Every structure is written in C-alpha cells, then in structure tokens.
Amino acid sequence: MSSVRDVCAAAKAAAPALAGASTLTKNAALQGMAAALDGAHATVLAANEKDLAAARADGVSPALLDRLTLTPERLAAIANALRDLMALTDPVGQVVRGFTLPNGLDVRQVRVPLGVVAMVYEGRPNVTVDAAGLAVKSGNACVLRGSSSAIHSNTALADILRAALAARGLPPDAIGLIADTGRESVKELGRARGLVDLLIPRGGAGLIAAVIADSQIPVVETGVGNCHVYVDAAADLDTARAITVNAKVHRPSVCNAAETLLVHRAVAEPFLPAVAAALRAQGVEIVGDQTAQDLVGAAPAADEDWDTEYLDLRLAVRVVDDLDAALDHIARHGTLHTEAIVTEDRTAARRFTAEVDAAAVMVNASTRFTDGGEFGFGAEIGISTQKLHARGPMGLTELTTTKYIVEGDGQVRI
C-alpha cells in the first residue's frame, strides 16, 4: 500500500502532463474512461458486492446501503456523466483579463489548472468517477480519499480510470486513490504542503470540521446547509406553501434542502395550518416555537433544533415579528449556504438579498436551485459554503487558478 505522501507525490509528478494536455486530449481521455467503465461492469460489480457484504455484516441502514450500491444502470449513468463533461467548455487557457501597461508591457491573466486537487468524501462510489472526470477535464491531477465502506468499489473504479488514462498517453498517477481509509490518512493529506494545491472535504459537518482542524493546505468547505425559507408578511401564500414544501421534501437528504421555516407573525394564522397540512401529507414532522405549537400542534423545538441540519423529513418552524427578526435568526443559525424569502414586497426582497450573508439568496424560489446542474454549470464538485476562492456550486472554473503572463521588449522598472 502506497503511503498518502507517495500518492500525492506521484500526482504532483503527473500534474504537468495534465496541465499541458489540450482539450482534445482531455476529451479523448474522458471518452476512454467512459468506455472502460462500460466494459468493466463485471469487475466493478464484483468489487461492489464485497463492500455491500461488509456493510450488511456491519448492519448499516438501508439508506446507506442504497448509497453504496452500484448496478449496471447506475454504472451506465456514471459513464455517461463522464461523456457529458466532454461537451463542457474547458476553462483552461481562457483569458480572464488582458491589458497593455503604459510602458508597453502586455499583461494577460490566463486560467490554468490548480495542479493537484485532493478530495475526502463519504459513501457513494460514483464520487470517485465524478471527481476524477472533473479533474481531468480541468487539467488537474487528483488524489481521492473515499470511505472505508466503499474501498473495494473505489479501488476497482480507480484502477479502470487509471488504465484508461495510460491508454491515451496520460500518466495514470494523475488519478491517485488513497487506499488507507483510516482517520490518520486524512491528517496526513492535510500535511501534504507543496504536493496538494486544494483539499475539498465533501460530507457531513464532522468530516469537514476534522479536515479543517488539521489541514495546512488550502481547503474549500462544502456542503453543510442549514437553509431557511422566510415567508414574509407580503408573501403570496400559495407560492410560499409550494416553495416550502418543495424546499423540504423534494430531496430532504441534500444540503440545499430547507431545515427551518420562518414565518412573519402577520401571516402565521392563515399560512401555518395550510403549509403544515401540505407538509404532513408528505410525511414531514414539524417542530416549532410556541406559536407553531399553538397553531398547528408542532412538537416543541429545542434550542439545538435551530442549528440542526436534519437532512430528513423534519422541519423547524418559528414565527418572527418582522423581517429584522428573520434576518437576525438567519445570521445566527445559517451556514452561509442558501436562504430564501417569499414576498411580493420589493423593499423586503431587496433588503433580504442585500443583507443575508450566504452563497445563494433566493427570492420566490426554492432553496433546491443552488446546484451546479441547475445553474447550467454542467457538473459540480461540491457547493462551497466558504467565501474564499469559490462560493456556491463549484464547477470546472472553480478547479482552476490564474497566472499572469507578461510580455515585453526588455522593459525594466525605473
């Protein structure tokens, strides 16, 4: 088993070849990776069965088992996601800005790959392929550290992808998999200064906090979303109900699902019973403050409910006196991911969008739209909830940096 540092060093050595590869070469590699996956279902499914057997023996939940499971249909979809990347615009080489200085120097700020992108993730084996594909298309080498529960699947997938790179003349080490899935390997990854340019943790709050605490290389935080829907006094209540239900139940397990509903006191009485009925019809359990308890029989919310990302069919409800109270609640409990207001009042909408500090602020739209696919980026490696480098859905562009290229005729500073 290679050490973490060895995998990172091999990826760094492979990075220049990826960085220098043309879009045509990278697209050919993606096509080769997809074809190789299509031709290796038996191998991958056999490896996946080992993971599933271990998971069953460990008695993991049906939901987790489902996330771990690969099928021929899922494998075909994973391969097609690689083919979809071929159609996306390659950000590498784009001139971000360019200008000529008074002394005649021509300056261009050009997009270039980051170099080596590392990712720590949980559960689903499809992330292994998605992340490798995004790295290849953006000209980066990658180092992947998945969870122990998916190690057989991930190893089989990485082997196939590495061979496909080699078949197209690219160094296989540009896709590095860390076989050691112990906690120490995440720490070791965070110490790989000079080898890894970006570390992306993708998973629960605990994983992200652990990565940040130990990492000495730049990290982009992703994914924790304690998202709110605020229904203003001037909301259209049918719209508010539809958005609340969609934000909560469309896919409760993801980061852009709503976890708390804030309702202006002026509309609590007509709105809460209607939305509660609609939510409960979809199986949502409601906890709330005193008013919510009184109006719709919500279970009492504890203090920690306002800070909990349920990722489940559960919603916390609070009635607020005004927009200021809603903004204050969001400032205290939000995770800078996505916040939504439902209102027909443009002053309220303008204040909400200006004052809420989040990657995305929605007016009369579901929180579920904060998504690389929905935004038209074609693919995403995660949703950044930090402010540096990338905020919101991270696509190919967010996997690049820039370089200033300055051309002259012997200019010196005077």
Determine if 115 is a binding residue for its own copies (CB under 8 A): yes
Residue closer to its own copies, measured from CB, 15 or 33: 15
Determine if 413 is a binding residue for its own copies (CB under 8 A): yes
Choose which of 197, 232, 259, 380 interacts with its own copies (CB under 8 A).
197
Determine if 302 is a binding residue for its own copies (CB under 8 A): no
What amino acid occupies position 174?
A
Determine if 210 is a binding residue for its own copies (CB under 8 A): no
Per-residue burial over 135-160, b = 16 or more CB atoms within 10 Å of its CB, e = otherwise: bbbbbbbbbbbbbebbbbbbbbbbbb
Determine if 369 is a binding residue for its own copies (CB under 8 A): yes
Q: Which of positions 339-358 make contact with its own copies (CB under 8 A)?
A: 349, 353-355, 357-358
Binding region for its own copies (CB under 8 A) out of 25-33, 44-52, 72-80, 369-377: 369-377
Contact string (CB under 8 A) for its own copies, positions 48-77, x = contact: ------------------------------
Determine if 402 is a binding residue for its own copies (CB under 8 A): yes
Determine if 242 is a binding residue for its own copies (CB under 8 A): yes
Choose which of 218, 233, 299, 307 interacts with its own copies (CB under 8 A).
218
Q: Which residue has the tokens 């605990």?
A: 206
Determine if 42 is a binding residue for its own copies (CB under 8 A): no
Element housing 234 (H / E): none
Residues 4, 120: Cα–Cα separation, whole Å:
12
Determine if 11 is a binding residue for its own copies (CB under 8 A): no
Six-digit token pair at 249? 């139940």
Closest among 229, 241, 231 to 337, alpha carbons compared? 229
What amino acid occupies position 56?
R
Contact string (CB under 8 A) for its own copies, positions 165-194, x = contact: ----------------------------x-
Determine if 412 is a binding residue for its own copies (CB under 8 A): yes
Element housing 271 (H / E): helix 265-281
Residue 276 CB, nearest approach to its own copies (Å): 18
Six-digit token pair at 307? 């800070």
Residue closer to its own copies, measured from CB, 264 or 368: 368
Q: Which residue has the tokens 């202006």?
A: 264
Name residues whose C-beta falls within 8 Å of residue 240's C-beta, 6 or more positions apart in sequence: 229, 231, 267, 271, 275, 342
Determine if 96 is a binding residue for its own copies (CB under 8 A): no
| Strand blocks (E) in 157-313 | 175-177, 198-202, 227-231, 258-264, 285-288, 299-300
Task: Tell me, by CB under 8 A, how many residues bind its own copies.
Answer: 67
Determine if 9 is a binding residue for its own copies (CB under 8 A): no
Residues 30, 266: Cα–Cα separation, whole Å:
55
CA dihedral 353, 358, 362, 368 (to 10 degrees): 180
Determine if 151 is a binding residue for its own copies (CB under 8 A): no
Residue 300 CB, nearest approach to its own copies (Å): 27
Binding region for its own copies (CB under 8 A) out of 74-82, 180-188, 316-324, 389-397: 389-397
Name residues whose C-beta falls within 8 Å of residue 53's C-beta, 6 or more positions apart in sequence: none
Closest among 81, 53, 79 to 160, alpha carbons compared? 79
Footprint of its own copies (CB under 8 A): 16, 20, 99, 101, 105, 107, 109, 112, 114-115, 193, 197-198, 212-213, 216, 218-220, 236, 238-239, 242-243, 245-247, 250, 349, 353-355, 357-366, 368-370, 374-376, 386-389, 391-392, 401-413
